[in-house]
Amino acid sequence: MSEDQLSTSMKRPEEDLRPFQGVRRFGCTFSTKELERRGIEWQEAFEEMKALNFNAIRVAAYWSDIEAEHGRYDFDQLDELLDKCDETKLDVVLTVGMKGPRWPEFHIPTWAESDLDNEDIAADKKLCDRCLDYVEALIAHVASRSCIVAFQVENEPLDKAGEKRQIVGIDFVAEEANLVRKIDTNLRPIIISAWCWSFKHDFDVKDALRYGNILGLDVYSKVRGDDTTGVERAGKLPKHYKELANAKGREAWITELQAESWNPSTFDPDDMKSLLKKVSDADFTSVFLWGFEKWYDAKINKGDDDMWKAVKLATANFLNIPSSRRK
């Protein structure tokens, strides 16, 4: 399929995005894998998360969990999680593909792992074909879920990550997005995310905008000791990229907003408040915080609930929740 055909098949009329424009969504990425790594039951964490009053959540359909054995799909955990989202009336962004939130970045089943060391892992055609089979089965399984408001195809696909520092090339991301479009009869928007790091990533953002309805931006201000330039960057880049998206009739969401430290940099509630103000001032209306698993771990295992309390207040302010409901 040519680039023009792909682009046309994935563009929805601008009016189809109107229900998303101006709707305020505030939540977090919720990783069952990261909670498991920390020795925390995800069901318990989900119940506690309700106290934060989020109205949206981003979750991953980890390929390595769902198809641990070739051709055998286990959707039980994902179904349970989506049932809870339905019951809680949370808008869900579901991340699909081989790359998902949290380490090791690439969540590929052992039987499907690639031996190629290419920078673009999508150079492995067998891997891509297997991934498309999984995406097809997944979308067919969850298509009837009304809580899902958008599908995110891959997570930061054009950012080098994982043990081999690889990307998922835009041509394959476009193929995945096209497949989601064909199967999802509700034609929910496609999100493609990019690392909001420097103007050098403009090409990544422009590629994402070619094939997605919504540009997802991952915004971090204090990373690996790069604090001063990061704070400045976090104020300018999101606004710049939002303008690029809007000029093309697309939406821009903050799919990850830093709310945990990235060593050796520190990150505290005041840093989160400052960063959230920057994206709010730039008129972003959908924001997903990054760090839930760490705040919850700190709260229940270390007696430190400072970030937990700060997030609850941030939710109330962002969604304009009356003070009587903030307790």
| Confidence band, pLDDT 50/70/90 cuts, at residue 19 | low
List, in order, residues 6 or more apart from 204 with CB less than 8 Å away: 158, 159, 194, 195
Measured between alpha carbons, how far is 309 from 120 in angstroms, rounded to an integer?
41
Cis peptide before 157 (omega within 30 of 0): no
Q: What is the widest separation between alpha-carbon atoms in the chain? A: 56
From the list 159, 162, 161, the residue with the least C-alpha distance to 197 is 159
Strand intervals (E) in the chain: 25-29, 56-60, 91-96, 148-153, 190-196, 214-219, 251-258, 286-290
Range from 11-25, 111-125, 157-171, 250-264 carrying the lowest mean pLDDT: 11-25
From the list 151, 159, 170, the residue with the least C-alpha distance to 12 is 151
Rg over alpha carbons for the chain, rounded to the nearest Å, is 19
> What are the b/e assignments for 245-263, b being 16+ CB within 10 Å?
beeeebbbbbbbbbbbbbe
Six-digit token string for 130: 């297997």
List, in order, residues 6 or more apart from 112 with CB less than 8 Å away: 63, 67, 70, 127, 130, 131
- pLDDT of 57 over the 80 cut: yes
66-112 tens-digit pLDDT: 999 999 999 999 999 999 999 999 999 999 999 999 999 999 999 99
CB 52 within 8 A of CB 311: yes
- Look at the alpha carbons of 6, 166, 106, 131 in this order and tell me if their dihedral is positive or negative: positive
| Confidence band, pLDDT 50/70/90 cuts, at residue 20 | low
- 166 φ, ψ to 5°? -115, 165
Measured between alpha carbons, how far is 208 from 130 in angstroms, rounded to an integer?
23
Say which amino acid occupies 205: V
Question: Where do the H-state alpha helices sit in 157-227?
Answer: 170-183, 202-211
278-318 tens-digit pLDDT: 999 999 999 999 999 999 999 999 999 999 999 999 999 99
From the list 108, 25, 45, the residue with the least C-alpha distance to 315 is 25
pTM attached to this predicted model: 0.93
| Confidence band, pLDDT 50/70/90 cuts, at residue 325 | very low
Q: What share of the chain in percent tops pLDDT 90?
A: 83
Range from 55-69, 107-121, 213-227 carrying the lowest mean pLDDT: 213-227
CB 252 within 8 A of CB 246: yes
- pLDDT of 201 over the 80 cut: no
